[in-house]
């Protein structure tokens, strides 16, 4: 069956003719004198001539007039070389339609040697109007870009720039084309850049250049300026081209420096404020302590001591805040440990048999919540130390701080002491401590739940921020 299939193509010339005729590209054959001896139907369609109008005519009929004068010379040179190659390599070529319209083409030349009639030239012609239009649109887009656009070849030579690049670096376009990209880079960075460029070509992918490093461009005047660069590899038959988008970030850098200076000044100011507040609170604490030593009324001493603890609680928050890197939030876990230890020491020997169990998540709380919450914790721990374990009783005070949900936190102060009697009206208590607990709970929008015994607990659920 295979032999039957190819019987009708036993004539090689007929096979060649059918192949040429079926080609989607224009195929034109000329003799050594440049006369057209064969065209296919694609040529008729491309140039607008019938086959009969072309056969026997000079090939120059298909070439625009401005190119005809040099074409015969080029044609003869090719005949002497007699090898397959693209025509007009590195130059723009154009065909001429019967109507007089010129259009861009790409031409491949192939010599055909014969014994009797010499060398023929087979030209394959492709209309690249669509490609040229696309290239034009790309060129217009690049030229209109507000960023500097620089294209380099695989050797790092500049092959295209836009007008923004001229403004950015101070060079005329002609001064940059054909030069190594390193002329736009400070001398101190050039050696390293050559290595980085080669590395990029070996592992080319779209990415920012110099990620995590400061990059600088070099103006023609010698002035360096900070830049941001995006790299885009473009694969071509002639190797990898690199399109770089360059942005001058001098203004941004200046704004960042101003912002950093302002933030530093703000941090110094806040640090000084917190330091002064902490010191002033410590002075008040000392004054209350001195005052309590001059009175002998037990009630007055108790009031002064409890006020002293409240002041210490606020001073402790400012101390932790002053020692941290963030002046807007308090590491409340550290605060709880310090506060409970201070209270236990203050109430010795009453607290000598009291153990503490503290379980907290790592939580930062804004300063506007931290101070009232710290006072709350001070009051509830003080009450537990003073009243939960009368006589020689021993026991444990437990404090839990954790995330309740995505928007709320939970703190619970509980003990295994004697509990709160049923006839004690917590909401109408005459004691300042529990009155403060209720007032401060409202201040931080906390939901307060009290469990009287087994264990006695005060649970507050409050927002992470107000």
Query: In this predicted model, which residue has the larger pLDDT, 150 or 274?
Result: 150
**Residue written as token pair 């192939």:** 110
pLDDT the model gives residue 307:
81
pTM of the model: 0.48
Which region among 8-12, 278-282, 333-337 has the lowest average model confidence (pLDDT)?
8-12
Top-level class of domain 132-248: alpha beta
Q: pLDDT confidence of 324, banded at 50, 70, 90?
A: low
pLDDT the model gives residue 413:
94
**Residue written as token pair 């060649």:** 16
Rounded Cα distance between 257 and 132, Å, is 46
Rounded Cα distance between 200 and 233, Å, is 9
How do beta strands 354-360 and 395-403 pair?
parallel
* CB proximity list for 392: less than 8 A, separation 6 or greater: 353
Rounded percentage of the chain residues whose pLDDT exceeds 90 = 38
Residue 227 CA from chain centroid, whole number: 16
Whether CATH 3.30.450.20 fits 2-127 = yes
**Residue written as token pair 């009639």:** 117
Question: Is the predicted pLDDT of residue 14 greater than 80, yes or no?
Answer: no
Top-level class of domain 254-463: alpha beta
pLDDT the model gives residue 209:
66
Tens-place pLDDT, residues 350-370: 556 888 999 999 888 888 898
Domains 2-127 and 132-248 agree in fold: yes
Domain ranges of the chain: 2-127, 132-248, 254-463
Rounded percentage of the chain residues whose pLDDT exceeds 70 = 90
């Amino acid at each position: 069956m295979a032999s039957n299939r190819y019987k009708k193509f036993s004539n090689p010339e007929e096979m060649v003719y059918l192949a040429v005729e079926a080609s989607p590209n224009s195929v034109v054959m000329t003799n050594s004198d440049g006369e057209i001896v064969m065209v296919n139907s694609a040529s008729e369609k491309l140039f607008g001539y019938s086959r009969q109008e072309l056969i026997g005519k000079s090939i120059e009929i298909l070439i625009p007039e401005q190119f005809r004068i040099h074409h015969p010379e080029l044609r003869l040179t090719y005949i002497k070389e007699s090898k397959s190659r693209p025509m007009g390599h590195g130059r723009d070529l154009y065909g001429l339609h019967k109507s007089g319209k010129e259009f861009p083409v790409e031409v491949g030349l192939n010599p055909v040697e014969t014994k009797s009639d010499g060398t023929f030239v087979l030209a394959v012609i492709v209309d690249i109007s669509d490609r040229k239009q696309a290239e034009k649109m790309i060129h217009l887009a690049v030229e209109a870009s507000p960023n500097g656009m620089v294209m380099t070849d695989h050797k790092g030579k500049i092959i295209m720039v836009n007008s923004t690049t001229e403004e950015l670096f101070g060079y005329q376009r002609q001064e940059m084309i054909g030069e190594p990209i390193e002329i736009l880079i400070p001398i101190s960075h050039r050696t390293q850049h050559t290595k980085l460029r080669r590395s990029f070509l070996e592992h080319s992918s779209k990415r920012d250049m110099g990620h995590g490093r400061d990059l600088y461009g070099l103006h023609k005047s010698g002035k360096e300026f900070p830049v941001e660069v995006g790299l885009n590899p473009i694969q071509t038959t002639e190797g990898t081209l690199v399109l770089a988008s360059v942005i001058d970030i001098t203004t941004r850098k200046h704004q960042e420096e101003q912002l950093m200076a302002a933030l530093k000044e703000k941090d110094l100011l806040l640090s000084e404020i917190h330091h002064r507040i902490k010191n002033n609170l410590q002075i008040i604490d000392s004054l209350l302590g001195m005052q309590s030593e001059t009175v002998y009324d037990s009630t007055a001493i108790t009031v002064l001591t409890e006020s002293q603890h409240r002041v210490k609680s606020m001073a402790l928050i400012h101390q932790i805040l002053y020692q941290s890197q963030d002046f807007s939030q308090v590491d409340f876990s550290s605060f709880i440990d310090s506060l409970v230890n201070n209270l236990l020491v203050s109430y010795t020997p009453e607290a000598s048999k009291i153990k503490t169990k503290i379980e907290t998540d790592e939580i930062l709380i804004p300063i506007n919540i931290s101070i009232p919450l710290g006072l709350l914790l001070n009051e509830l721990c003080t009450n537990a130390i003073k009243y939960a374990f009368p006589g020689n009783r021993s026991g444990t005070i437990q404090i839990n701080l954790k995330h309740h949900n995505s928007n709320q936190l939970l703190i619970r102060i509980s003990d295994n002491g004697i509990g709160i009697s049923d006839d004690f009206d917590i909401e109408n208590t005459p004691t300042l401590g529990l009155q403060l607990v209720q007032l401060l709970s409202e201040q931080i929008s906390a939901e307060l739940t009290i469990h009287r015994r087994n264990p006695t607990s005060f649970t507050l659920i409050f927002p992470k921020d107000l």
